[in-house]
Structure 1
Amino acid sequence: MDKVFNEGVVGVYHYKTASVEEGGLYYLSTLFCDSGVLEKNHIQELFEHEYSTKINPGEAVGPFDGLDDLNRFAFRVCEEFDFSFISLHSVEQYNSSLQEVSDSGELIEKLLSEGNIIQNIERKKKGFFNKFFN
């Protein structure tokens, strides 16, 4: 299990209602892997580059118009930082998982098996071909 987690990252997002008329938007709250929380400034820089939108330091990354938009950005995170996958969870799903487990190993297993898994297929292909050409 450790090897799998080393190759991927867990993301937690939240939904924020702007107004009844406008609806709401999604924000990426945090990303973490086995070594800890990823530097938010790197993720913010990628967002600013992709969406031409400035984020105040320390704020959640976003806004995203919908889950499809958030998923596309999550895939870009995988590509940019060379993760094999990202497992996305709403803050509610994440909190529920925290309450259901008794230790960190169980939590990691639950987060990796029950999230919205977005795989970076290109990374796997590169690794496969590198075995033959290196």
Structure 2
Amino acid sequence: MTSFGWLTPAFASEPPTGGKGVNVMTRYMMVFGKLENKLLAAQGAGDKAAVIAQLNPFFELNTYDHKRLTRDAFAARKPNSTQRKISGLRVYEVGENAIANFVLQSPDGKDLSIVDVWSRKGQDWQLRLRFESNY
């Protein structure tokens, strides 16, 4: 396992000898892939309660056009998320937090680069902070 001081990539592993490293789906990538898809599905269904349940009370979204949205404003958004998909997910563990980075692909070509900061709440995870930028 490779470590960069305070930042340890959750997908880091020793590459096989004599060949190229293999990108392996780690436990964190599976856990956060499910969480991100659950959030996407709740948004697509317009299930504000399910969206709020996944968000930290102090959640904040920073959009590509430099706007900040609160938890309630984010939960009220209803993007066409049933047609969007996540690709290129990477997850980093930083202390009690996990940072997920991925591309949110859209059929209309308006893909977004997403950085999510997830914080522990007991045995569960809540989304604390999201950064969106045009991809």
Tell whether the structures are fold-level matches, with TM greater than 0.5: no
TM category (shorter chain) comes to under 0.3
- Richer in helix (by share): 1
Where relative contact order (Cα < 8 A, 6+ residues apart) is larger, the structure is 1
Provide the TM-score with structure 2 as the length reference. 0.26
Larger relative strand fraction = 2
